Structure 1
Amino acid sequence: MPLADDTAFDAAQFYETHSRANAARGVLVASAPGASLVPKPVAGLNQAQTNNAFIVIEVARQMQLPERAMVVAIATALQESYLRNLANPKVPASMKLPHDGTGTDYDSVGIFQQRVSIWGTPEQLMDPAFASAKFYNRLVKVDGWQRMSVTNAAQAVQRSAFASAYAKHATMAQRIVDELTD
């Protein structure tokens, strides 16, 4: 049974008030001539991965979370999907939503590979902003997460079968955060 939605995060309002995040998810947004609202690819990521990372970071900013939370979230998304918004054929509704590829791990979808049976609906979890808010909301409830290693903080939220796998992404996550928050 899915847990009740415990975030006060309104993804639609987030996109309405964040034109760059809206542009990053592929929605055409008017901008000044010659100006690009979409961030340039960083750290060897492609445009879609950079856009997803940018949204993860902007959600943390809106939630007034520190850079450390951004790094934990980006490292998690790198491990779970390499910052790709993955649909899952085992969750047919996800296949009808915008996605960057497919995965087949249980009923996991989105950039954090959150399980539909636990985290929310396919529509919610395939939205990078909503999925980020769910991740952050769980992260900040972990006692002492700010002092934990990236791996331990990520694992406290995700409860992965491969708990140590997040460690290999910590340096890259910091680089992505640094480049997208300059």
Structure 2
Amino acid sequence: MADEGDVLTDLNQQSNGNGADHGPVAGIITQYVKDLSVENPKAPESFGWNEAPELDVQFNIAARQVSDEVQEVELKVSATAKTQHGTAYIVELSYCGLVGMRNMPEEQKHAFVYAEAPRFLFPFARRVIADATRDAGFAPLVLDPIDFTAIYQQQLLARQQEGGMTPPAGGAA
């Protein structure tokens, strides 16, 4: 057990001595699969196709306010594998996380929601996609890592060049 005044006992007391928490705090509260769809429209014929499928992978990030200090961040991933014979599989995933934030300026909250939170969620969404494609009878689709910070910065720069100097509000980043 930790002694009184030890770092472990002070985790909930990030304060200036009066018990109030004034420092910026952000983190993932929980994460979950909100929606998962797996289609194998040409089975069982598709299992005999020998050519490598052409993959189309799309992703989108959305967020919605749940309470004053909590937002739901939604990472949507869609993967379609097609060959000359037709569509082998379609996987659509909505993977979410509840993000808690307090004592942060709006621009930092926005960056956390649209860059950091997706970075935390992506490895878990990637595993769900790999498992879903494997369970559909195909080789697991292991998505390449995504640099959400670079994408966020590119989109922020594009909006600034369009004349909007503030971070984009709501919707996808």
TM-score band (shorter)? under 0.3
Q: Answer 1 or 2: which has greater strand percent.
A: 2
Report which of the two structures shows the higher radius of gyration computed on alpha carbons: 2
Bigger fraction of residues in helix: 1
TM-score between the two structures when normalised by the length of structure 2? 0.23
Q: TM-score, normalised by structure 1?
A: 0.22
